[in-house]
């Protein structure tokens, strides 16, 4: 089981129990995902079956919103141990002029669409983190965030301002921990298509620039997304990736998607195809495939050599 911070978990759980006295009870929902994966590592094709059970509990009162999420991952044959994870345990308190969220929670910043291949530079809290996030509104559309959360075993403090002006959604932030100092800007605007950008300037431990530019456009049932990420200056591990995504809606319940992640340095590519359909209100089926391509020493060429072509079929049941 992943590390659970004892005292914050107790605090959140205690407040949840107290809040139940004024509410009708918690809402429990979640999903069960069954995934078959067919791959050919080292040139040998094999099929694996894995399962993920996700349970969410959410409760509202006049003063709080409480969220908990647990996952049970039952891996395929290669791994013997099932994993249990508490992925979320947070309490959002509604103050008169501010809101405070405590516990293990997502703090999602940045304007990128969070494709795994092209990370948004300003998403400085990348996964559900243990911490606190204070939000102070400055009007119907703007607010300050003050956050402190654990990232890489250090506490990362951040101050962020977000607002809207003439259709432009913008934010500025500053963040620091014992080793790093970051300032950043982001913006998103509709100019007939949606154009957005994240810029993160790392001042410490070394100067480094991270830039993401993206565009999102729809024409009829087609939606196209392009993102490019560039890391410059003294970045030790530079990322120059371009992601192109295209999705097509067959009907209200079925969509097709194709993606290309291009490494601009070595020109290697990862192609992905997918289809998703809602079979019933509770049942979703997804099928996907990924194909790495590239030279012998390239990022995706190495995957290709290792035979890491992957086909997946996933069924999700909501409850």
Partner 1 sequence: MKRFVLILTVLLAMGTFWVVAANGAELTVEEIIAKVDENLYYTSSYSEMEMEIRSGRRTMVKEMRSWAEGKNALVEFTNRADQGTKYLRLDDELWMFFPDAEDLVKISGHMLRQGFMGSDVSYEDMLEAEKLADVYRFTLVGEEEIDGRPTYVIEAQAPDGAEVTYAKRKIWVDQERFVSLREEMYAVSGRLLKTASTSRVEEISGRFFPMEFVMEDVLKKNSATVVRVKEIKFDVEIPEGTFSLQQLMR
Nearer to partner 1, 63 or 206 (CB): 63
Q: Provide the binding-site residues for partner 1, judged by CB under 8 A.
A: 27, 29, 56, 58, 60, 65, 67, 69, 92, 94, 99, 105-108, 135, 137, 139-143, 164, 167, 169, 188, 190, 192-194, 217-219, 251-253, 278-282, 318-319
| Minimum distance of partner 1 from residue 29's CB (angstroms) | 5
**235 Cβ contact list (under 8 Å, min separation 6):** 208, 209, 210
| Minimum distance of partner 1 from residue 50's CB (angstroms) | 21
| Minimum distance of partner 1 from residue 77's CB (angstroms) | 30
Nearer to partner 1, 43 or 167 (CB): 167
Nearer to partner 1, 22 or 137 (CB): 137
How far lies 60's CA from each of 98, 136, 140, 280, in Å? Answer: 17, 20, 22, 28
Please work out, in degrees rounded to the nearest 5, the angle formed at the alpha carbon of residue 155 by the alpha carbons of 173 and 213.
35
| Minimum distance of partner 1 from residue 236's CB (angstroms) | 30
> What is the distance between the alpha carbons of residues 309 and 306, in angstroms, rounded to a whole number?
9
Radius of gyration of the chain (CA): 22
> What is the distance between the alpha carbons of residues 116 and 291, in angstroms, rounded to a whole number?
16
| Minimum distance of partner 1 from residue 172's CB (angstroms) | 17
User: To which H or E segment does residue 101 belong?
Assistant: strand 99-105
| Minimum distance of partner 1 from residue 215's CB (angstroms) | 11
Q: Around Cβ 167, how many Cβ atoms within 10 Å?
A: 9
Nearer to partner 1, 58 or 293 (CB): 58
Nearer to partner 1, 129 or 175 (CB): 129
The phi and psi torsions of 6 (rounded to 5 degrees) equal -65, -55
Nearer to partner 1, 6 or 219 (CB): 219
Q: How many CA atoms lie within 13 A of 153 on its CB side?
A: 1
| Minimum distance of partner 1 from residue 114's CB (angstroms) | 9
Nearer to partner 1, 27 or 83 (CB): 27
Residues facing residue 23 across a β-bridge: none
Helices (H) and strands (E) in the chain, counts: 2, 18
> Do the Cβ atoms of 145 and 124 come closer than 8 Å?
no
Q: Is the dihedral of CA 151, 225, 254, 219 positive or negative?
A: positive
**118 Cβ contact list (under 8 Å, min separation 6):** 112, 212, 214, 227, 228, 229, 239, 241, 242, 243, 261
| Minimum distance of partner 1 from residue 41's CB (angstroms) | 31
Nearer to partner 1, 43 or 192 (CB): 192
């Amino acid at each position: 089981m992943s590390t659970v911070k004892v005292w914050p978990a107790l605090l959140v759980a205690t407040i949840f129990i107290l809040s139940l006295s004024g509410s009708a009870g918690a809402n429990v929902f979640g999903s069960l995902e069954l995934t078959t994966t067919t791959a050919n590592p080292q040139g040998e094709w094999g099929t694996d079956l894995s399962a993920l059970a996700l349970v969410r509990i959410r409760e509202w009162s006049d003063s709080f919103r409480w969220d908990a999420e647990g996952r049970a991952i039952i891996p395929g044959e290669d791994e013997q141990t099932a994993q249990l994870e508490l992925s979320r345990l947070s309490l959002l308190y509604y103050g008169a002029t501010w809101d405070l969220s405590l516990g293990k929670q997502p703090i999602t910043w940045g304007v990128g669409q969070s494709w795994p291949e092209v990370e948004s530079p300003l998403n400085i809290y990348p996964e559900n983190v243990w911490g606190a996030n204070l939000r102070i509104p400055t009007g119907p559309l703007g607010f300050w965030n003050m956050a402190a959360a654990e990232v890489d075993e250090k506490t990362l403090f951040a101050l962020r301002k977000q607002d809207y002006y003439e259709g432009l959604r913008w934010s500025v932030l500053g963040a620091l921990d014992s080793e790093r100092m970051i300032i950043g800007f982001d913006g998103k605007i509709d100019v007939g298509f949606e154009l957005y950008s994240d810029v993160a300037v790392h001042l410490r431990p070394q100067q480094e620039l991270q830039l993401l530019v993206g565009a999102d456009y729809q024409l009829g049932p087609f939606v196209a997304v392009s993102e490019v990420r560039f890391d410059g200056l003294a970045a030790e591990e530079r990322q120059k990736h371009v992601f192109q995504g295209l999705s097509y809606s067959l009907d209200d319940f079925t969509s097709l998607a194709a993606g290309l992640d291009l490494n601009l340095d070595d020109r290697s590519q990862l192609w992905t195809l997918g289809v998703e359909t809602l079979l019933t209100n509770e049942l979703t089926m997804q099928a996907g495939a990924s194909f790495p391509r590239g030279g012998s020493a390239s990022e995706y060429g190495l995957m290709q050599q290792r035979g890491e072509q992957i086909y997946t079929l996933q069924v999700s049941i909501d409850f």
